[in-house]
Amino acid sequence: MNVTFATDQSTVETTVFEPTTDSGPLPPVPRGDALGYVPVETGIDDEAVRSVGLAVDVDAQAVPDNRSRDSVVVYRYTNGGWSALPTRYDSSAGRYLATADGLSSLAVASLEPGQVRVVNTTSPPDWARQGYQTNVTATVENPGDRPAQRTLTVTVDGRPVANETVRLDPGERDEVTIGFPAGGGTVAVEGTEAGQMNVSEGNQWDNDPPSGLSAGDGPGFDLGLVALLFVALVLVGVAQRLRRLRR
């Protein structure tokens, strides 16, 4: 630990204790697997400190399996909580280096890499008209300790039909709606099946609608419905003119 003070200090009283696996009276680190805590007691305010250079030795066997050296981060306890410090591994020294802007207790943790995982999907429309856009909604989450980004692919019977890039913060959960051209088959998002969708041409839809639907139902404009709305608007206009004439 190398402390650079912002002002001249005639006397400095600070105690750095032995590393421990327990956080003691402090809360545990908010993310990651704690590898150790270093309690520090000092009466020095942050304003009196210009910077604190830290060099930390970490036993490689303490890092959880399948995690790289980049997973290790140094935390500093300040303002009632743990704050992650920019941390890098110095291969020449075999140590992790970090810099803080004050002197206080420290912790070292290994962070789980972030990932965007599809945990659920909603069923697409049972029927859609050929050539129209439809959509599917996927629930995604990032169970890791770092931000993550992933491009989700929607498939119909295994054929890619649309992509959507999603970015999640650590622990974040969100719903993503992805539009795609209607096509008959099994709809899935990154392999997570959403359901079966059928498509129909306009005339076929009107003459032989799906069970539970009447002619003209379903996505897209229906010409019969448009004509009916037009007639209704004309009748409204005629009624208004008759009222004016009666006056």
Closest Cα partner for 74 from 89, 92, 61, 93?
89
pLDDT at 54 over 60: yes
In tens, the pLDDT along 124-159 reads 888 888 778 999 999 999 999 999 999 999 999 999
How far are the Cα atoms of 129, 180, 239, 246 from residue 125, in angstroms, in the given order?
Answer: 10, 12, 40, 50
Query: Do 168 and 140 form a contact (C-beta atoms < 8 A)?
Result: yes
Closest Cα partner for 104 from 59, 37, 150, 34?
37
Query: Do 76 and 53 form a contact (C-beta atoms < 8 A)?
Result: no
Please tell me whether the overall predicted TM-score, pTM, comes out greater than 0.85 for this model.
Answer: no
- The whole-chain average pLDDT of the chain stands at 85
Write out the two tokens for 75. Answer: 């935390």
In tens, the pLDDT along 74-133 reads 999 999 999 999 999 999 999 999 999 999 999 999 999 999 999 999 988 888 887 789
